[in-house]
Amino acid sequence: MNGASRERASGAELLAREAAHRTSPSATDLQYGHTDGVIDLTWGHPDPSALATDAIAQAAEVLLSTRGWQALSYGAPAGAMSLRASIAEHLGHVDGVVAPDDIVIAAGSSGALELVLSLCAVPGDVVFVEQPTYFLALRMFVDHGLRIVGLHSTEEGPDPEHLDQLAAEAARAGVGSLLYLVPTYANPTGRCLGAERARALLDVAARRGVTVIEDDVYRDTNPVAPPSMFSLDPTQVVRLGSFSKSLAPGLRVGYLTSTPAVVNRIATCGLLDSGGGSNHFAAMVVGEVMRSGRFAEVVSAGQDRYRARRTALSQALDHDLFRFDEPDGGFFVWLRLPDGCRSSDVVDAARAGGVLVSDGRLFFADRADDSYVRVSFSMLEHDLLVEGATRLNLAVSRMKRR
Site for a second copy in 112-131 (CB under 8 A): 113-114, 118-119, 122-123
Distance of alpha carbon 73 from alpha carbon 87, whole angstroms: 21
Q: Does 279 bind a second copy (CB under 8 A)?
A: yes
Peptide bond into 188 cis (omega under 30): yes
Q: Which of residues 242-261 bind a second copy (CB under 8 A)?
A: 248-252
User: Which 2-31 positions form the footprint of a second copy (CB under 8 A)?
Assistant: 25-26, 28-31
Closest CB to a second copy among residues 281, 324: 281
If you write DSSP's letter for every residue of 335-367 in order, what string do you get?
EEPPTT--HHHHHHHHHHTTEE-EEGGGG-SSS
Cα separation, 228 vs 209, whole angstroms:
19
Query: Which is nearer to a second copy, 13 or 54 (by Cβ)?
Result: 54
* Residue number, 302 or 353, with CB nearest to a second copy: 302
At its nearest, how many Å lie between a second copy and the CB of residue 379? 10
274 binds a second copy (CB under 8 A): yes
Interface residues for a second copy in 36-55 (CB under 8 A)? 45-46, 48-49, 51-53
Question: What is each CA distance from 382 to 8, 191, 217, 245, 396, in whole angstroms?
Answer: 12, 22, 23, 18, 21
77 near a second copy, rule: CB under 8 A: yes
Q: Which is nearer to a second copy, 12 or 19 (CB)?
A: 19
Neighbour tally for 385: CB within 10 Å = 28
Supply the minimum distance, in Å, between the C-beta of residue 66 and a second copy. 11
Interface with a second copy by CB under 8 A: which range of 60-68, 89-97, 222-230, 255-263?
Answer: 60-68
- Site membership for a second copy, residue 82 (CB under 8 A): yes
Find the binder of a second copy among 14, 39, 103, 107 (CB under 8 A).
107
Q: Which is nearer to a second copy, 237 or 284 (CB)?
A: 284
What is the spatial distance between Cα 158 and Cα 203, in angstroms, rounded to a whole number?
13
Task: Taking each helix axis as running N to C, give the angle between helix 11-22 and helix 382-401, from 0 to 180 degrees, rounded to the nearest 10.
Answer: 130
Query: Cα separations (Å) of 43 from 30, 36, 63?
Result: 13, 15, 32
Residue 245 or 391 having the CB closest to a second copy? 245
